[in-house]
Amino acid sequence: MKKTGSQILLESLVLEGVDTVFGYPGGTVINIYNDLLDYPIKHILTRHEQAAVHAADGYARATGKVGVAIATSGPGATNTVTGIATAYMDSTPMVVITGQVPTPLIGNDAFQEADIVGMTRSITKHNYLVKDVKDLARIIKQAFYIARTGRPGPVLIDLPKDVQIAATRFSYPETVELRGYKPTYSGNVRQVEKAAKMILASRRPVLFVGGGATASDAGEDLMSFAELIQAPVVTTLMGMAAFPTGHPLALGMLGMHGTYYANMAVTNADLLVAIGARFDDRVTGRVAAFAPKAKIIHIDIDPTSIKKNVRVDLPIVGELRDVITNIMDRLRSDAAQVQALPELTASWRSQIDAWRSQYPMTYKASDTVIKPQFVIQKIRELTARDAVIATEVGQHQMWTAQFFNFCHPRSFITSGGLGTMGFGLPAALGAQVACPDRQVIDISGDGSFQMNSQELATLVQYKLPVKIAILNNNFLGMVRQWQQLFFDRRYSQTPMELPIDFVKLAEAYGATGLRATRPAEVEGVIRKALEIPGPVLMEFQVDREENVMPMVPAGAAIDEMVLAS
């Protein structure tokens, strides 16, 4: 029996296990939306195509599944670009389907035509323009395989309208054969042997964990590894939730706004084992001064990430759980040396504890003005640390990383690589769809929130009980902080003086709005918000010029921190 291109697309999504898609209809995808009514796939209608991709991203990050978004051609497709780039930078598995004008019109400046394949070539793991309906099933199979295997990432399928309408016999491939694409999953045995010897010889080891640990669900193996060799653990922003912050070996985040003791540990380590991290410039500071005393082992499934930004003494390409397990097996075969390791490295951990006691992560509390860190700590306390937290981008994002103390993998959803303002609310929306029984909270700044605030309507329409906490300082806070510290307080275009009434904004969309202006009101507002079944926006009017500290100035080494402002 023949099926049309749009039916083949939807049949294939079902066979790939897709139960939810996020999107926004238009003329060149109208056939897909018509057929969608006949398939068991839930569609979430966002209010903007960028938000649809962020929502699919949040869904994927919360579950590990491939997120799916649909948009029409032209402006609908171009609106997806920021979301695709965000997913690409953070290695989120995703398939984005865009409509395209009919194939005979491509290149003729047809109505709502845009070369989305060309535009997204550098921000997708792979992309396709489907020219023949007979290729469609194979392409969809390949797209999902590429998105979820190796280093995950977004794949775009551009689907012309005439291909959606054309019909052919449907047969979904069982396997994928892609010449030149064969991810390496098992680490080289000799490299694993070398790594074990380097670990046993180390007296000041540090594990450096990135977002790859979350993507590969390596959390349990990672903890076993750290405990086996008693190595302190630092994380990137993307690796925050992969290792519980409350663990005795956890040192928190590394880099520009990392903890003093994490930065000092890496600067003085004699061995750095990087696990699924790409040595982002926010992490390394001045590269020439990064981990100057350490030999570096870099474990990653993506060979192009290794040696890209820093020197590496021992590269191991492979799937993280496989490599970590093999290293532990090798270490356990040398039981006497492994058992002696904790005692041999005890003074190193004592030194780190001394740094932790000297400069703990803290802030100056106040009885008169709301400190943003206090709000984050209260949210953590009142949600039993079980919530899924999404953030926008800015000061509130860094305070959340510093003070929430994450203890479960996939509980922290944030835009790390691209730093996309407007990401948090739609990503929280997607996470709530994926995890209907968990509390999802978007922690936001007033600037970021206004970039996709229209998604309040989506929350209300689908009765999604996302709670939004806006830390309102009427500033573009992070830029203002830089202007204060490095530009002599010349606040150019960072004050957002128009007093937005966020409570009324929430009410205009049919959500509940609450506000706290004094520290004594914070706990009551959070408790009330958590008791209300639907979406609730909480506005906290916080200290306008509170800064994120510590801070490593641009161009400085990570041990050259500014500790207070």
Which positions are annotated as active-site residues? 49, 111-112, 161, 478
Q: Hey, is 427 helix, strand or coil?
A: helix
Q: What letter would DSSP give residue 237?
A: S
Contact 324, 221 (CB under 8 A): yes
CA of residue 245 relative to chain centroid, distance = 17
Could you give the CA distance from residue 504 to residue 538 in angstroms, rounded to a whole number?
Answer: 11
Six-digit token pair at 271? Answer: 């061995």
Q: At what angle do helices 136-148 and 5-15 cross, to 10 degrees?
A: 30
Q: Judging by DSSP bridges, how do beta strands 2-4 and 167-169 pair with one another?
A: antiparallel
Alpha helix segments (H runs only) across 217-268:
219-229, 260-268
Handedness of CA 111, 34, 81, 137 (dihedral sign): negative
Angle at alpha carbon of residue 410, lines to 409 and 411, rounded to 5° = 90
Other beta carbons within 10 Å of 82: 21
Contact 404, 412 (CB under 8 A): yes
Angle at alpha carbon of residue 218, lines to 213 and 221, rounded to 5° = 130
Six-digit token pair at 367? Answer: 């009885």
Which string of b and e fits 112-145 if b means at least 16 CB within 10 Å?
Answer: bbbebbebbeebbbbbbbbeebeebbbbbbbbbb
Peptide bond into 550 cis (omega under 30): yes
Handedness of CA 34, 37, 43, 44 (dihedral sign): positive
Handedness of CA 282, 288, 293, 297 (dihedral sign): positive
Report how far apart, in Å, the C-alpha atoms of 166 and of each of 162, 169, 224, 277 are. 6, 11, 54, 45
Other beta carbons within 10 Å of 383: 18
Could you give the CA distance from residue 441 to residue 422 in angstroms, rounded to a whole number?
Answer: 14
- CB-based contacts of 153, cutoff 8 Å, min separation 6: 87, 88, 91, 92, 93, 94, 124, 125, 146, 147
Contact 215, 152 (CB under 8 A): yes
Handedness of CA 88, 273, 229, 354 (dihedral sign): negative
Contact 468, 429 (CB under 8 A): no
Residue with tokens 């759980």: 321
Six-digit token pair at 396? Answer: 């509130």
Which residues are 466's β-sheet partners?
none
Six-digit token pair at 152? Answer: 């995950």
CA of residue 265 relative to chain centroid, distance = 25
